Chain A
């Protein structure tokens, strides 16, 4: 089955700095890669996603890049704000199967 690794497990940045979270996957059949933000006690919420036929996607301060050859994808958050503090999960999907990375706890220090 698919194996998704995510790094780092914790990340602290100063407000206004950028944050980068990286994931690797093992199964080349995976073709959809969502990123979720989960605040304490709340449900995961999709923040951005990318499909395997696209190399990069951006939505305001958030961007995702995908390298299919190397089987890795990354989340980039620019101009971080305290409200970006949360746990972020990457996932790799093929069909209806979704496999999550282990999560990154991001803290933005005001």
Chain B
């Protein structure tokens, strides 16, 4: 299985709602990532988990809360979002970096989030 899956595909939520995005991979990758992508822009790194521990938080607002329950799953909990948070949220996974650098990231199809 060489695929990263994400649910839901689409999500519409109000600013007072709490929702979660889910990501799953079964490639044995121990690095997992959350990215935010706005239309016609590149993916922006939000969080990185390495061996189920949060290793990078790119100064993301606390209304986004990541969780890595096990080596295959990654969640992103959303609370009190703003309309400007509307975007495509991409999950990715990779083998952990070696001494020669990073490794190929496999992206999920994304969750298209709309905040009303």
Across the interface, do B104 and A34 meet the contact criterion of CB distance under 8 Å? yes
Interface members, chain B 82-116 (any A CB < 8 Å): 90, 94, 96-97, 100-110
Q: Which 4 A-B pairs have the closest CB atoms?
A: A32-B101, A100-B42, A31-B101, A32-B102
Residue among A44, A45, A94 having the largest count of chain B Cβ atoms under 10 Å? A44
Number of residues on chain A facing chain B (CB within 8 A): 25
Residues of chain B within 8 A of A99, CB atoms compared: 45
With a cutoff of 8 Å between Cβ atoms, the chain A residues found around residue B42 in the complex are 89, 100-103
* Secondary structure type dominating chain A contacts: strand
| CB of B43 closer than 8 Å to a CB of A | yes
Q: Is the CB of A46 within 8 A of B105?
A: yes
- List CB contacts (< 8 Å) of A38-62 with chain B: 42-46, 49, 51-53
Is residue A69 within 8 Å, beta carbon to beta carbon, of the partner chain? no
Chain A residues, Cβ within 8 Å of B45: 97-99
Cα(A53)–Cα(B100), bound, Å: 8
Report the minimal beta-carbon distance from A5 to chain B, rounded to whole angstroms: 11
Q: Mark A4-36, 1 if CB is under 8 A from B, else 0.
A: 000000000000000000000000000110100
Contacts of A46 in B (CB 8 A): 104-106
